Structure 1
Amino acid sequence: MLIKGQEPGTALLLAAAPANKSRLIDAASVLPGLAAVPPAVLAGAAEATVVELADPLDPQTVLTRVRAVAAAPGPLFLYVAGQLHVDGKQRQIHLALARTTPASLRYTALPWAWLAHELRMRAPGTTTVLADLAADPGAWQRVTGEGLTLGPGVRLYGRIVPSSPRGRTLAPDYLKVYAEVWRAGARPSLAELHAYAVDRTPGDALHLALGDGVQGGAPVPAAAPVPAAPPSAPSAGTAGNDPHPAILAAANAGRHGEAASMAAVWESEAMRTYGAGSLEAVHWLEVRADLARLAAEPVRSCELWMAAAQARLARRQTTDDTDVQGAVDRAHHQWEQVRDPERARSLAPSLVALRRQVPGLQRGALEAVQRRLEQLQDIPATSRRTRSAVPG
């Protein structure tokens, strides 16, 4: 696929995982979303070529494709979804391919060092790698201790998650967030988009953010603070201007009413253009929920996050969907911040109903809501007004 323009660029979409019981991640599930993004966006250039590798069988085939795109002089974006293992003999990191088994790892998987070698041949600053990876226990121990890089001059943004202890096949949700944002028309910087994707994919993970001018460094753990900002995701217009920076600037300056008003205008435009239940409208609902959090309005934030969760469920998103779980988790967190017993009690029934539908990844979340509700029931309804009437 080729777009005419002036500055040629290349995007390589590589999704690979074993086609056997060794599969940790459904890597190829990210390809339809990425393939629907305009090639110029994927490759960071007006003229763009997109190459797709879905569950390749042979490491030499992958190496040949990587070598070919690495030889191109323009910008190169490499998207990698897959799983990491460590071979038992040389203790090297490998990216598993379709035929990979634990016994055949050294012969059927792609050594990470091969990838790094090919990309080191390129001019510094012309290569960007976006990775969404699962790691088996050996690889997880390795990357958490040493990190994962591709050498100087290569921008690397990504997420590495440990394999599921219950054998559940994981999903490349981090890269799916990129595809969702770009398909909706927003064009945030990679650093902003990485922060947004991290925020939208909670859980145990290692996050990599090696940007321009970074020659090395350690991975950023999931517990590291993410900049408090409304998600840099889809704008509702066709105008090409991203309203998120202006909204965030107003919120950070303490002009919370102005920020909320701007977001409400964009939400109304999204509803008018795409419909009340559209993803674009739900996005702006979530932006308003996060703005309420920044304004220290937990009641309002909780209400809006619950509304967002309900809207996503109404769209038939499943209860284990990352976006649904994230909305309920954020609603729960904001409810915990509500100090007015009466307001907390009034919000509790809706939250309990959501928690019964969406228990989330944290065990005992529903029980935690019910325990706090029991404690709130013991506080007299008039206690807040009585306290306020006592002379200071």
Structure 2
Amino acid sequence: MLGVVINGGHTAEPGTALLIAAAPVGKGRLIDASSVLPALAAVPPSALTGTPTATVIELADPLDPQTVLTRIRAAAIAEGPLYLYIAGQLQLDRRQRLLHLALARTTPTTVRYTALPWHWLAGELAVRRPDTTTVVVDLVADHEAWQHIVTEGLALGHGVRLYGRIAPASPRRGTAVPAYLKACAAIWRSGARPDRATLHEQAAARAGSDDALLLTVGPPPLVGIPAAETAAAVAVADPHPAILAAAQAGRHGEAAAAAAAWEQQELRTHGPGSVQAIHWLEVRADLARLAHDPGLSCELWMAAAAARLTRRQAPDDPDVEGAVDRAHHQWEQIRDLPRARSLAPALVRLRQSVPGRQRGALQVLQRRLEHLHAGQA
């Protein structure tokens, strides 16, 4: 981990470049991500940011997602242009079906706890002024993550430019190298300073596209959502139509990531337990319903109900009752018996506090729980 400030005496607004190279240690490593850092370190900082002065920060094989989040958050509050260069591998959290950037301790079974959720990155960048942020990636995706990206895209949020490439993991080719970012570094070291679109084309040609997905995205509010839909969302300053459109089009992971990014922004702005943050928690719960994931939807509705009760909303408040009723309804749709049994105790406690307006709801819940313990659906 390295931070260095380069100042050539100019008075123009300085830029910030955050270089992240991350991949698991051991046999789970799909890309030698950190091998690109010496090449990028040899590039003049002004080339990385396009500004006369620059702050350059490196993260090499970080261990902890919170550490990475802290660095991204610190970079995101910079006033000038921000450039993120990310080399690494993407993996999918099999429970929530969300993309993560794998870190040094990540394994397929610990993605949710040891990798950086991609929507965390989107959430941190959401606070920046539009068109001041550029993300350049050189990534390898495991099989599940690749299928997710091909069908649902890669969400980064409002006003973020995205360049680079994502390649599917290939056991026959062994550990990949970040050839795209190395090509960018070689072009800069030659003294050339092409604009970003031209640089992308030249680096992609040098790296070889093969079966990789090449990314070249301007600053739409939500990456991967049709322009007409995002334009409408930006005109009522309301992201809901675009998120709903993505979910209805089957891009459930993208919709969930966008909603999670908005939730993170509201958490930062208004704090945990705020009505704004709870609202986005409820949006995520309904998106999980649309994605036919009743277990996750139940879990999120219960979290929303608990948050409202913590705010001292009354048990008969319509919003509280509605959250518990929806959690109960989604729980009844779960066909994974161990999952249903694991969620039942928390739901029973909520039903005891919030009986709702449907008579006998607690008794119905308890009867089904008895059937589950008997091994019946």
Asked if TM exceeds 0.5, the reply is: yes
2:44 paired residue among 38, 41, 44: 38
**Is residue 20 from structure 1 mapped to residue 26 from structure 2 by the alignment?**
yes
Structure 2 residue 66 is the aligned partner of structure 1 residue 64: no
* d(CA) in 2 for partners of 1:58, 1:199: 34
TM-score normalised by the chain length of structure 1: 0.54
- Rounded to whole Å, the distance in 1 between the matches of 2:118 and 2:222 is 18
Residue 99 (str. 1) matches residue 69 (str. 2): no
Mark the runs of 5 or more structure 1 residues left unpaired by the alignment.
220-392
In the TM superposition, residue 217 of structure 1 has moved relative to its aligned partner by: 3.4
Query: Pairwise CA RMSD of aligned residues?
Result: 1.6
Q: Give TM-score scaled by structure 2 length.
A: 0.56
User: Counterpart of 1:3 in structure 2: which amino acid?
Assistant: N
Judging changes above 3 Å, is the alpha-carbon distance between structure 1 residues 117 and 181 closer, same or farther for their aligned structure 2 residues?
same
1:318-369 Cα shifts (integer Å, max 9, x gaps): xxxxxxxxxxxxxxxxxxxxxxxxxxxxxxxxxxxxxxxxxxxxxxxxxxxx
AA aligned to 1:209 is T
Helix, strand or coil for the counterpart of 2:31? coil
| 1:138-158 alpha-carbon deviations (Å, 9 max, x no partner) | 000000111113112000001
1:85: Cα distance to partner?
Answer: 0.4
Write the letter of the residue equivalent to 2:54: A
Structure 2 match to 1:371: none
1:120-151 CA-partner distances (Å, limit 9, x unpaired): 11000000000000000000000011111311
- Report what 2:82 is aligned to: 76
Equivalent residue, structure 2, for 1:209: 216
Identify the match of residue 115 of structure 1 among 103, 121, 134. Answer: 121
Indicate yes or no: 2:167 matched with 1:161. yes
* Matches of 2:101 and 2:221, distance apart in 1: 24
RCO comparison, higher one (Cα < 8 Å, 6+): 2
Task: Give the deviation of 1:43 after TM superposition.
Answer: 1.7
Paired residue type of 1:204: D
Offset of residue 28 of structure 1? 0.4
SS in 2 for 1:72: coil
Distance 2:110 2:220 in 1: 38
1:3 corresponds, among 1, 7, 25, to 7
* Correspondence for 2:373: none
Provide the aligned length of Structure 1 versus Structure 2: 219
Mapped pair 1:127 → 2:133: yes
SS class of match (2:70): helix
1:145-189 CA deviation, whole Å, 9 max, x = no partner?
Answer: 111131120000010000013260000001111000001100011
Report matched runs for 1:1-392 at 5 Å. Answer: 1=4, 2-4=6-8, 5-6=10-11, 7-166=13-172, 168-202=174-208, 203-212=210-219, 216-217=223-224
| Equivalent position SS for 1:195 | helix
Check conservation: 2:130, 2:219, Cα contact below 8 A: no
CA displacement at 1:56 relative to structure 2 = 0.2
**Equivalents in 2 of 1:149, 1:26: separation in Å?**
24
CA contact (8 A) 1:146 1:218 kept: no
Q: Distance in 1 between matches of 2:110 and 2:219?
A: 37
Alpha-carbon distance in structure 2 between the residues aligned to 1:99 and 1:216: 29
SS in 2 for 1:159: strand
Matched to 2:214, the amino acid is H
Partners of 1:214 and 1:113 lie apart in 2 by 14
Q: 1:125 to 1:85 in 2, by over 3 A?
A: same
How far residue 214 of structure 1 moved from its aligned partner, in angstroms, is 7.3
Supply the distance in 2 between the matched residues of 1:109 and 1:197 (Cα, whole angstroms): 28
In the alignment, structure 2 segments of 5+ residues that lack a partner are 227-377
Following the alignment from structure 1 to structure 2, what is the Cα–Cα distance between the partners of residues 182 and 74? 21
Alpha-carbon contact 2:152-2:224 (below 8 Å) kept: no
Superposition deviation, residue 218 in structure 1: 7.3
Q: Helix, strand or coil: the match of 1:166?
A: helix
1:286-328: CA deviations, max 9, x gaps? xxxxxxxxxxxxxxxxxxxxxxxxxxxxxxxxxxxxxxxxxxx
Structure 1's 213 and 148: CA in aligned 2 closer, same or farther, altered over 3 A? Answer: closer
Measure, in 2, the Cα distance between the counterparts of 1:53 and 1:168.
24
